[in-house]
């Protein structure tokens, strides 16, 4: 069984029942043991050192700041409440939080692999949620102002009362195999020799399997037979649900969509295995890191031989 992919495995109970009670949320915000993960322009505050971890703030730290922060209740864990706070307006956030020299705001994609597994999951949830709130200040239906409700579970329009819920965008991603070869592609601007599984957003009016067939055909021209679901992964850039599949190619005549991809090609299994095992020079191929579901899909293809 391949290593687990990153971002699942959050230990938090999202407290769906209780969070409807705003007095309860207010009480949690006042508790001494409540923990806050601070996000500054979508970067997360991380304690530096050989074993980095989330730098949890307490209400004391939050109260010391300009009080226009917005909290999102992420959930409960062993009786303790965990919130995300968006402090993007601060000028010198590390200084304001008293974290200079101890903790640093880091890019989530860069730091996630170095965090404890369950903390990466918490960060995925926090980043997606905070990002959604920041970009949904107005009602898309009427243009009115929206405000959060249910501890950040959703937003409500102050003008037309429409409720808006965070989006989660389903993405179909597939390793397409044809005997001992699999189809991979690369986008313009990626690091040299990096290839990955083809992927695309699932659109309205189609199933997962139809989306896989359409995306692969659009991007590579390859017709697809059987499609099989393998695993899913929350991907917090911005807020996708990656739905990982194996798909079977019916031929190998690539017709590239040069708008979407710079290149697509079939790769021999031995070459993929060599790259997965770290010999990217020998394989002349770089694959996505273990944190990505594309890596998982490739590892399970190799393992199934």
Q: How far is the CB of 30 from a second copy (least distance, A)?
A: 25
CB nearer to a second copy: give 218 or 263: 218
Give the containing element (helix H, strand E) for 108: helix 108-111
Q: How many helices (H) and strands (E) does the chain have?
A: 9, 15
- Interatomic CA distance for residues 258 and 238, integer angstroms: 24
Among 31, 167, 188, 253, binds a second copy (CB under 8 A): 167
> 166 is written with which tokens?
């965070």
- Interatomic CA distance for residues 109 and 81, integer angstroms: 25
Among 27, 89, 107, 203, binds a second copy (CB under 8 A): 203
The answer to whether 246 contacts a second copy (rule: CB under 8 A) is no
Q: List the beta bridge partners of residue 264.
A: 185
Among 208, 256, 265, 302, binds a second copy (CB under 8 A): 208
The answer to whether 139 contacts a second copy (rule: CB under 8 A) is yes
CB nearer to a second copy: give 104 or 129: 129
| Total interface residues for a second copy by CB under 8 A | 57
User: Residue 268: which of 256, 253, 254, 285 has the closest Cα?
Assistant: 285
CB nearer to a second copy: give 6 or 275: 6
Q: Which stretch binds a second copy (CB under 8 A): 15-23, 38-46, 48-56, 101-109?
A: 15-23
- Interatomic CA distance for residues 48 and 105, integer angstroms: 10
User: Residue 228: which of 300, 145, 144, 122 has the closest Cα?
Assistant: 300
- Interatomic CA distance for residues 94 and 140, integer angstroms: 34
Question: Pairing state of beta strands 169-178 and 240-249?
Answer: parallel
Among 27, 33, 163, 169, binds a second copy (CB under 8 A): 169
Name the residues that contact a second copy, by CB under 8 A: 7-8, 10, 14, 16-17, 20, 121-122, 124-126, 128-129, 132, 135-143, 145-146, 162, 164-170, 201-210, 214, 218, 229, 231-234, 236, 239, 241, 243, 257, 259
């Amino acid at each position: 069984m391949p290593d687990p992919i990153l971002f699942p495995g959050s230990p938090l109970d999202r407290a769906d029942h209780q969070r409807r009670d705003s007095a309860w949320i207010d009480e949690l915000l006042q508790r001494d043991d409540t923990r806050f993960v601070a996000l500054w322009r979508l970067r997360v505050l991380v304690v530096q050192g050989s074993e980095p971890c989330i730098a949890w703030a307490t209400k004391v730290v939050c109260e010391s700041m300009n009080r226009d922060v917005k909290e999102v209740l992420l959930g409960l864990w062993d009786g303790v409440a965990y919130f995300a706070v968006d402090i993007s307006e601060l000028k010198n956030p590390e200084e304001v939080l008293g974290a200079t020299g101890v903790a640093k705001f880091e890019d989530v994609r860069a730091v996630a692999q170095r965090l404890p597994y369950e903390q990466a999951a918490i960060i995925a949830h926090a980043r997606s949620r905070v990002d959604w709130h920041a970009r949904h200040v107005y009602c898309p239906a009427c243009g009115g102002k929206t405000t959060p409700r249910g501890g950040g579970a959703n937003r409500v329009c102050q003008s037309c009362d429409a409720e808006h819920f965070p989006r989660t965008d389903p993405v179909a991603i597939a390793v397409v195999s044809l005997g001992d070869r699999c189809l991979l592609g690369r986008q313009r601007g990626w690091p040299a020799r990096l290839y990955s599984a083809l992927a695309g957003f699932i659109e309205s009016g189609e199933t997962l399997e139809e989306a896989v067939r359409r995306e692969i055909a659009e991007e590579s021209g390859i017709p697809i037979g059987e499609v099989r679901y393998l695993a899913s992964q929350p991907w917090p850039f911005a807020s996708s649900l990656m739905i990982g599949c194996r798909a079977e190619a019916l031929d190998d005549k690539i017709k590239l969509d040069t708008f979407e991809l710079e290149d697509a090609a079939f790769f021999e299994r031995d070459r993929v295995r060599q790259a997965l095992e770290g010999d990217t020079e020998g394989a002349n191929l770089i694959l996505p890191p273990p944190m990505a579901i594309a890596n998982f899909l490739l590892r399970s293809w190799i393992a199934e031989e």
